[in-house]
Amino acid sequence: MQLTVNGEKKESQAKTIQALLDELGIESKVMAAAVNMNVIKKEQWENYKLEQNDKVEFLQFVGGGA
């Protein structure tokens, strides 16, 4: 299916957020996920079903500052 992941169009076989993370190999870095601008709790990633043309954003928290 066609998804937009962090602004890039991707073809994916993943059916859930967790499966998409596994497919992309970025799970350990991700702290939050949003689908179509709705934040999805980490506990729901295994069961949250992705659909054609969903816009998925994976967010990482970065420390730092002055």
Would you say residue 64 has pLDDT above 90? no
Would you say residue 47 has pLDDT above 90? yes
In sign, the C-alpha dihedral spanning 19, 24, 26, 28 is: positive
H or E segment to which residue 60 belongs: none
Q: What gap in Å lies between CA 66 and CA 52, rounded to an integer?
A: 42
Fold exhibited by the domain 2-59: Ubiquitin-like (UB roll) (3.10.20)
In total, the chain counts a number of residues equal to: 66
H or E segment to which residue 9 belongs: strand 8-11
pLDDT digits (tens, 9 = 90+) for 15-32: 999 999 999 998 777 789
